[in-house]
Amino acid sequence: MVAKLKRYSFIFEELVKRDFKKKYKRTFLGMSWSVLSPLLQLLVMRIVFTQFFGRGMEHYTTYLFCGNLIFSYFSESTGQGMSSLIGNAGIFTKVNVPKYLFLFSKNVQALINFGLVLVVFFVFCLIDGITFTWKFVLLLVPIFSLMFFNIGVGLILSALFVFFRDVQYLWSIFTQLLMYLSAIFYSIDSYSPMMQNLFLLNPIYLYIRYFRKIVIDSTIPSVWFHLLMLADVVIVLGIGCWMYKKYNTKFLYYV
């Protein structure tokens, strides 16, 4: 796969540039929306949920931002990745290129947007009185894990979307449900230990929780916490790669 990426590096770069231009075409603020959109979402959530869930919670703005930052990255990456094959059918039906290039270009775009918002997140941490420690370097662990998790989910969704167009509607409903189950704006501390453990079955909550432990609690998650994240990545990435390999030729007949 690495050899193919090098071989088609020019095409890959052009795909990333095209996706960026297409996303912000005819917008007055352009790439600024990459930062403004999550900030406006954060503002709305801060106003709405503070009185209900954030009363008495220390660093509630940072708590909210952690959840919104991770979930927005996941939602953008998988949502755009889902249509990566259908949206580029006119290319790979005429030119023999690896089909996963289109998904990777979408993920690179989402990762760059995430990086821009991450810088703003650190600024908000300073304003909120968060103490920066060496442990912040460990945030690279959930970031890279989530990147590969998003690629795996994107591979699965884009393959399914070729055969079943209903996937886009089902995924929209599922992500909305997932948002409420990821404890973005509320705490699970008041729940029973069994209920708290059930939240760990949600991969997105794992990444959000990791960020909060490092940034707010200044503690490093346990080894089994890391292993749980790794297991999620291996499973979805394995399924996604298998689907692309199995249905590689069939994609041409259904797009």
Any domain includes 207 = yes
User: By residue range, what is the domain housing residue 112?
Assistant: 33-254
Any domain includes 45 = yes
Q: What is the pLDDT of residue 202?
A: 94
Instruction: Specify whether the CB–CB gap between 113 and 34 falls below 8 A.
Output: yes
Report how far residue 252's alpha carbon sits from residue 255's, in angstroms, rounded to the nearest whole number. 6
Report how far residue 254's alpha carbon sits from residue 246's, in angstroms, rounded to the nearest whole number. 14
Across 91-95, 118-122, 231-235, which has the greatest mean pLDDT? Answer: 231-235
Any domain includes 19 = no
For residue 164, with 0-12 CB atoms within 10 Å meaning exposed, 13-18 middle and 19 or more buried, which class applies?
A: exposed
Report how far residue 42's alpha carbon sits from residue 185's, in angstroms, rounded to the nearest whole number. 10
Segment 226-240, tens digit of pLDDT: 999 999 999 999 999
Q: What is the pLDDT of residue 4?
A: 63
What is the mean predicted confidence (pLDDT) over 161-183?
Answer: 92
Segment 190-222, tens digit of pLDDT: 889 899 999 999 999 999 999 999 999 999 999
Tell me the backbone φ, ψ of residue 189, rounded to 5 degrees: -60, -30
pLDDT level of residue 112 (50, 70, 90 thresholds): confident
- DSSP alpha helices (H): ranges in 83-219? 84-87, 89-92, 100-127, 140-163, 167-180, 193-199, 203-215
How high does pLDDT run on average in the chain? Answer: 85
Any domain includes 75 = yes
Q: What is the pLDDT of residue 35?
A: 66
Residue 221: closest CA among 148, 142, 118: 142
Q: Judge whether residue 188 has pLDDT over 70.
A: yes
Q: What secondary structure, in 3-state letters, does 58-107 show?
A: CCHHHHHHHHHHHHHHHHHHHHHHHCHHHHCHHHHCCCCCCCHHHHHHHH
Segment 13-70, tens digit of pLDDT: 777 666 666 666 665 555 666 666 777 776 776 666 666 665 667 888 899 889 999 9
Supply the DSSP symbol for 190.
Answer: T
Any domain includes 228 = yes
Give the pTM: 0.88
Q: Is 130 left (phi over 0), alpha (psi -120 to 50) or beta?
A: beta
Any domain includes 13 = no
Look up tokens 């912040």; give the residue: 136
Q: What is the pLDDT of residue 45?
A: 66
Any domain includes 6 = no
Instruction: Specify whether the CB–CB gap between 178 and 184 falls below 8 A.
Output: no
Q: What is the pLDDT of residue 15?
A: 73
Q: Judge whether residue 255 has pLDDT over 80.
A: no
Q: What is the pLDDT of residue 100?
A: 83
Per DSSP, the three-state class of 217 is coil
Any domain includes 17 = no
Q: What is the pLDDT of residue 237?
A: 95
* Domain count across the chain: 1
